[in-house]
Structure 1
Amino acid sequence: MNELRLRIYKQLKNDSPEGRTSVFNKICGVTIFISIFFAVMVTENSIDYQFGDQIDLLDWIIGGWFCVEYLCRLWVAPLEKKYGQGWKGVFRYVISPMSIIDVIAIVPSFFGVRAELKILRIIRLLRILKIGRSEKFKQSIFHFNYALRSKSQELQISTFYTVLLLLISSTFMYLAESSIQPGLLGSIPRCLWWSITTVSAVGYGDSIPVTALGKIIASITSLMGIAAIAIPTGILASGFSESIGAQAKNQNVSNGIQGPSNTG
């Protein structure tokens, strides 16, 4: 029994020398995405009307699988050092954030849901939170946080540039267009909305300049807006690259892999 428990623990925790995703976690990942897909699709009334019963049955099956996963995690929780041994470890796991997310994802699957309880179908979308269990997701969050921390000074400079660009362009647009379009560009806050949509390249078209000077200001703002998007993107990409490189280096060191020798 202890051997089976240990094997299940290794499957749940991806405890393998190669670092590959276990079969159990692959099945869980596929199940999560299938359940999310149908939870999204069933919000379309025509699909709900035609395939509602079949999707309800699938929800029961998926909910059953989530229950099996949850019970397995309860069983192996005492093997985690952070939870502790025995019933105390089980209790600590039950009140942990990941356990609460699992319960939120499981419970809605066992409600009888028809039109009058349609809100419960929307609640089922909360199972998206189960993606947080994915090791890939955890790694991506780690790399993203590393990039923000390591490049915080560069990002602050980029943010200052963007804010300055927004204020200057909206001020100039106010001076150029306020008398012509007082309803749309008659104040700096209104021009600020125009500046944000222009710099971000969204361009809703709800407020546009009509004078020659206004169009020149808009053109310059659009061109400078490219830098406002490209600079922080490049900074974050550099931080991601450094984080991934550092992780690979640490893995090589832990596995006893040495870099190329310079002797020769």
Structure 2
Amino acid sequence: MSPQWEKRRKRVFEIIEVGTKYDYPSRAYDLFNAFCILLNLTTSIMYTFHDLKYKYGELLVTLDEATVALFFVDYILRVWTAKYLYPQLSQPLAIRKYVLSFTGVVDLLCFLPHYLPIFFPSGAVAFRMLRIIRIFRLFRINSYYDSLNVIGEVIAGKKQQLMSSVFIILMLMLGSSLCMYSLEHEAQPEVFQNAFSGIWWAASTLLTVGYGDIYPVTTLGKMFGIFITFLGVGMVAIPTGIISAGFVDQYSRIKRISEYGQESDIHFIRLPLSEQDEWTDHTIHQLHLPDRIIVAAIQREYKILVPRGNMMLRAGDVLILGAESFHDPKERIKLKELVLQRSHPWIGERIRDLNISRHSIVVLVKRQKKVLIPNGKMILREGDVVIIYTQAHMSDAEDIDL
């Protein structure tokens, strides 16, 4: 396959996946996809009303067929671009992984039940029931938010406790059903016919649903029912408390991460590359950065790229470099930032002619939007921001901590 064709396929992948706020075609596709999902669900609901079906039946069927066709095209595009979703796998393995994944199965069942009755008319009713799976496509909207992710993390983190509480509830439900059968069978043989006939009563009582279609009539049965009702309130509160505690822990962890991030010992700088920079047209591996400096990310146009050793840097790329902040308890180094306002004595002077201590060093000069490496012949101008390392006191300069 030609490089141009591969480039187009990669661009299709970027569009159909959840895009960044700078990738407007991808964002537009995401919104259009969400709109189609909601429109399809709306038409499915409206079609169940007899009056609406009679008046707008043809329109609803047309909208349903159009949205299902779009789901089919979306699925084909996702299969075609699966190699970019799982770049570590070969194309056949990437396609298989997507097709067998939860999202892949949901995407498939969004359109397949609509077309299966054409080949298997006898199963039309069963296939129609599978259409409800389309609602799971709404989980794609969650990619913009973290709310459902937090719920998933809480349930996954507390799954052992939740399974234990559910097991206790099931055992209590079974035990109460057996007890109620023993107490009520003779008085209500048509209601409590066998040991499992009280399962519905136990579920409605323990889970505090309280439908009231099955209830005890004997004195002992009523007393036991009161006891089970009180016990059911506590049993239902167990998984609720576990999930609530999980939410508190999760949000506390997120808050701690946020606080620690502000106190991090790693600082990041933004470094744009131009045609004249030596790093342009070199791979990251060829930069030979010190061990304690890393390329954290690369911004290329509207994309944020994960850096790899063989990635070629281009003019216009913005490198995000990370390094440990300076910390030495014996000697604290400070830089001073000095803005050259009008009538400042340094304006028009060469750096080598400045009246500063021989222990002072001009580290760099910021002129408008450019960062300049100073040399002795550089003439300072009004508005320049001069970064100086000096231990001398300068009343019109601000300290910069490293």
- How far off its partner does 1:226 sit? 0.9
Residue equivalent to 1:31:
36
1:191 aligns with 2:198: yes
The corresponding residue for 1:59 is 64
Whole-angstrom CA distance in 1 between matches of 2:141 and 2:129: 22
Residue aligning to 1:232 = 239
Identity across matched positions, percent = 25
Q: Could you say if the C-alpha distance between residues 177 and 124 of structure 1 is closer, same or farther in structure 2, counting changes exceeding 3 Å?
A: closer
Q: CA deviation at 1:171?
A: 4.8
Task: For 1:43-58, list aligned pairs within 5 A.
Answer: 43-58=48-63
**Structure having the higher Rg:** 2
- 1:234 aligned counterpart, secondary structure: helix
Contact 1:43 1:121 in 2 (8 A): no
- CA distance change for structure 1 residues 160 and 41 in 2, over 3 Å: closer, same or farther? same
SS at match of 1:257: helix
Taking the aligned partners of 2:197 and 2:248, their CA distance within structure 1 comes to 39
Given that 2:82 and 2:95 are in contact with CA atoms closer than 8 Å, whether structure 1 keeps it comes out as no
Match of 1:217 in 2: 224
**Aligned in 2, Cα 1:246/1:34: closer, same or farther, shift over 3 Å?**
farther
Inter-CA distance 220–82: structure 2 relative to 1 (3 Å threshold): same
User: In structure 1, what is the equivalent of residue 298 of structure 2?
Assistant: none
Query: How far apart are the structure 2 equivalents of 1:64 and 1:42?
Result: 18
Highest RCO, 1 vs 2 (Cα 8 Å, sep ≥ 6): 1
Superposition map of 1:1-264 within 5 A: 8-16=12-20, 22-67=27-72, 69-70=74-75, 72-73=77-78, 76-82=81-87, 95=99, 97=101, 98-99=103-104, 101-106=106-111, 119=125, 122=129, 124-136=131-143, 143-144=150-151, 146-159=153-166, 161-163=168-170, 165-185=172-192, 187-243=194-250, 245-246=252-253, 252=258, 257-258=261-262
| Superposition deviation, residue 60 in structure 1 | 3.7
d(CA) in 2 for partners of 1:172, 1:68: 57
Q: Alpha-carbon deviation of 1:7?
A: 5.7
Secondary structure of 2:135's aligned partner: helix
Residue 28 of structure 1 aligns to a residue whose secondary structure is helix
SS of equivalent residue, structure 1 residue 183: coil
8 Å Cα contact 2:85/2:94 also seen in 1: no
Q: Secondary structure at the match of 2:209?
A: coil
Q: Structure 2 CA distance, aligned partners of 1:60 and 1:208?
A: 48
Change (3 A) 1:212 1:46: same
1:52 Cα deviation from its structure 2 partner: 1.6
SS in 1 for 2:221: helix
Q: What residue in structure 1 maps to residue 326 of structure 2? A: none
Q: 1:224 to 1:5 in 2, by over 3 A?
A: same
**CA–CA separation in structure 2 for the residues paired with 1:236 and 1:182:** 40
What's the TM-score once normalised by structure 2's chain length? Answer: 0.49
The Cα shift of 1:198 comes to 1.1
Change (3 A) 1:200 1:6: same
For 2:107, give the aligned amino acid: D
Q: Give the conservation status (yes or no) of the 8 Å contact 1:171–1:191.
A: yes
Q: Structure 1 83/23 Cα, relative in aligned 2: closer, same or farther at 3 Å?
A: farther
Displacement of 1:213 in angstroms is 3.1
The alignment partner of 1:182 has SS state of: coil
| 1:38-84 CA-partner distances (Å, limit 9, x unpaired) | 12332444433332210122124324543554455456444334375
CA deviation profile, 1:98-142 (whole Å, cap 9, x unmatched): 4554344245667999xx997465554443343354445996776
- Residues 169 and 235 of structure 2 are in contact (CA less than 8 Å); yes or no, is this contact kept in structure 1? yes
Choose between structure 1 and 2: higher strand proportion.
2
- Bigger drift between 27-36 and 39-48 goes to 39-48
Select the structure that is richer in helix.
1
Question: 1:39·1:121 contact (CA, 8 Å) conserved in 2?
Answer: no
